[in-house]
Amino acid sequence: MSIGQIAIGRNRGYRKRLSKLGLLGWLAVFVLFIFGVIAIFGSALAPHDPNKIDLAYSYVGPIPGHPLGFDELGRDLFSRLLVGARTSLIGPIVLVISTTLIGTSIAILAAWRRGWTDAGLSAGVDIAVAFPGLLLAILLSTVFGASLWVAIAALTLAYTPSLARLLRSSALRETGMDYVKALKVLGFSDSQIIFKHLLPNLAPFIIAQAIIMFGYATLDLGGLSFLGIGVQPPTADWGTMVAAGASGLLQGYPTQTLAAGSCLVLTALSFAVIGDRLARIWGVE
């Protein structure tokens, strides 16, 4: 067996033990699966036009065919909730992917090059910590105007340093291992070692981090939409629905706010549970 095979062999185990997710873990997977299906097929599944306004039905409670009733403008809440899944989940997906790509690249670069690259990263992280993501989002939307994309850019900027810092230390541990030295001696190129050995070995950690981040991302983007500096109305979105339902809630019609809020909480909770379990199973807590 060559050294390459030994190194690759190290990351084989982590797919097998997924069965240890537990009842709660699988329940969370199920919830996310349902939400995923809704996000993809939401507009086809929606029984009514989510944007059709009929003031005659303002705040009317559940009636046959309209299981959640209507919002202040008489729009069908259930349809809006289904259609809103897509905007509420697509933002976090883009955010998680961009953060993971940038964060992983920076971390590996820092761990591989060390020296100045590494020192620069650490300094950047220290400054970034003083800036909460929300503040960054507020600053950027002041300058560029409020939109979902500005919110995603701001949160990417806010999330990346801490992810890079976390990954950097694992990457450093990995690059310090003998197999990396052995592969270098054997004449493998840097990119071969990074893509064929280093990244696969870091994968469990990166995936667990990305899943945990997904939960935060859903809540943070939902929050920005709630504040009016994320998804812009009238697009159906869980965050904007929480805000839109506020006046109804005060008048005794809490359905819109609580239903949209529950979807956000359930999504975040599911990601938290799965991320937690995976981190424990893979031993990358």
Cβ closest to another protein, residue 82 vs residue 146: 146
Kindly state whether residue 252 participates in binding another protein, applying the rule CB under 8 A.
yes
Which of 8, 18, 228, 235 binds another protein (CB under 8 A)? It is 228
- The one segment of 37-45, 188-196, 203-211, 237-245 that binds another protein by CB under 8 A: 237-245
Kindly state whether residue 145 participates in binding another protein, applying the rule CB under 8 A.
yes
Q: How many residues bind another protein (CB under 8 A)?
A: 44
Q: Are 159 and 92 in contact (CB under 8 A)?
A: no
> End-to-end CA distance of the chain, in Å?
31
Structure tokens at 7: 């190194």
* Residue 271 burial by Cβ neighbours in a 10 Å radius (0-12, 13-18, 19+): buried
Of 207, 205, 216, the residue nearest 95 (C-alpha): 216
Q: Are 251 and 58 in contact (CB under 8 A)?
A: no
Residue that the structure tokens 């929606």 belong to: 46
Cβ closest to another protein, residue 104 vs residue 209: 209
What per-residue string of b and e applies to 150-186 under the rule 16 or more CB within 10 Å gives b? bbbbbbbbbbbbbbbbbbbebbbebbeeebbebbeee
Residues 6+ apart with CB under 8 A from 51: 75, 234, 236
C-alpha 259 chain-centroid distance? 20
Alpha carbons 77 and 48: distance in angstroms, whole number: 9
Binding mask 256-275 for another protein (x = CB under 8 A): -xx--xx-xx--xx--xx--
Which of 32, 108, 243, 274 binds another protein (CB under 8 A)? It is 243
Using the 8-state DSSP alphabet, how is residue 70 labeled? Answer: B
Alpha carbons 123 and 49: distance in angstroms, whole number: 51
Residue that the structure tokens 């667990």 belong to: 208
Kindly state whether residue 143 participates in binding another protein, applying the rule CB under 8 A.
yes
Alpha carbons 179 and 3: distance in angstroms, whole number: 7
Q: How far is the CB of 226 from another protein (least distance, A)?
A: 5
Kindly state whether residue 92 participates in binding another protein, applying the rule CB under 8 A.
no
Cβ closest to another protein, residue 204 vs residue 261: 261
Which of 34, 40, 63, 135 binds another protein (CB under 8 A)? It is 135
- The one segment of 7-15, 172-180, 189-197, 238-246 that binds another protein by CB under 8 A: 238-246
Which of 148, 219, 236, 281 binds another protein (CB under 8 A)? It is 219
Q: How far is the CB of 66 from another protein (least distance, A)?
A: 21
Structure tokens at 201: 């070995």
In the three-class reduction of DSSP (H, G, I as helix; E, B as strand; rest coil), residue 76 is classed as strand
Kindly state whether residue 130 participates in binding another protein, applying the rule CB under 8 A.
yes
Which of 153, 229, 244, 281 binds another protein (CB under 8 A)? It is 229
Kindly state whether residue 119 participates in binding another protein, applying the rule CB under 8 A.
no
- The one segment of 49-57, 178-186, 195-203, 235-243 that binds another protein by CB under 8 A: 235-243
Kindly state whether residue 69 participates in binding another protein, applying the rule CB under 8 A.
no
Residues that bind another protein (CB under 8 A): 127, 129-132, 134-135, 138-146, 215, 219, 222-223, 226-229, 239, 242-243, 245-246, 249-250, 252, 254, 257-258, 261-262, 264-265, 268-269, 272-273, 276
